[in-house]
Structure 1
Amino acid sequence: MRGTVGVFAAASLQATFTELGADFEGAHPGTKVVFSFGPSSGLASSIVNGAPADVFAAASPTTMDTVVSAGAAVGPTTFAQNAMEIAVPPADPGQVTTLADLARPGVKVALCQAQVPCGATAAAVFAKAQLAVQPVTEEVDVKSVLAKVQLGEVDAGVVYVTDVRAAGAKVRGVPIPADVNASTAYPIAVLSKAPNPVAARAFRELVLSVEGTKALQQAGFSAP
């Protein structure tokens, strides 16, 4: 098995998939994994419009469905779930200690755009909690929301649990109560027109393997 494997993956998978990509290349000399990370909805649109890739890993089944419906992928498998958490700058200038604080006047909140899985999942949290949150910015993906928090441009951002963990001391996490929290499932599929289908299937199997599951759980993802 040789050649390039093109993997389109949700931005929230960047750290874990980069690690798995290095493992894959080590286990299969002569292969190279080339990643395109970004908002799942944008990646799905690119795939449907003919962008060449071998594997797609989305941050929501709905997004994957658009690719499957277009005939660009078959048989997706869910490999992980991710819940939401509030990220605030370490000094917490907005004094955000609870979910309800996000609806307080004057608190600057960053969210993902509504069509992106992290935006849709945050909206589900607010609906459960019966909160009306007016963001000052809506970003294209979860990494952009996290960046706004790290730069101190907002008082809080709603991101995934995995993003808070990956950021380390650069942000502080404010947990969302389990009874109002929401999560999104992550499906993966080999694309129908994959230029390198053999390597694509092998990468998919790595993600679904014990090794892949361990790496995902260490990053904060939960089992599907």
Structure 2
Amino acid sequence: ETCKECIECGFTSVMFDGSHYDYEENVAKTKEVVEYAHARGVVVEAELGKLAGVEDDVKVDAANATYTDPDQAVDFVKRTGVDSLAIAIGTSHGAYKFKGEAKLDFDRLETITKKLEDAGFHNFPIVLHGASSVDQRCVAMCNEFGGKIDGAKGIPAEMLRKASSMAVCKINMDTDLRLAMTAAIRKSFGENPAAFDPRGYLGDARNLIQELVEDKIKNVIGSVDSMK
């Protein structure tokens, strides 16, 4: 219903996440969204596999996270007609992605890509959710000005660069943007405790978010040439 409402409001793409359903229900619901969207010239991203962490108040612990099955990915794309697919290869939602060393299953990504190619889906767009680097400068800024974000750890930039050099063409980094906004606002309040005008501290937040996004585009994802 939300996807339909967005389409009717003029969005040219929607994302439907049915990964919390069982496989067949995910296929059926995604196909329903795709058929409705395609009839109106709208593209659809869907999700297969469960990411650990918290997103939109939905919590999935590490024990219940599931990596995307390569054969299932091909079947899913065939049966739903989806335009891009978010897969699970080890990323997770939130600021506390890893207790130890970060690890992404690049072999699984390569296998999914190859199987899609063999099935006739050439250069099929793969998406990574839960892929923030958890920028340590922003974490430090939050903590310096009263925050308690200790031990936060994200996906190393070199892993994101590798993913973007493969089939991954969209990487979601929401946590990094949240951290940047929070850090800038905390710093603004810390340095100007008498301030109460949102145009000031929200302006600082906007500037830090822009700086962070530009750095991701140029130095992490390597897509700066596509912007010219």
> How high is the TM-score relative to the length of structure 1?
0.24
User: Which structure's residues are more often strand, by fraction?
Assistant: 1
Determine which structure has more spread, i.e. the larger CA radius of gyration. Answer: 2
Higher relative contact order (CA 8 A, sep 6+): 1
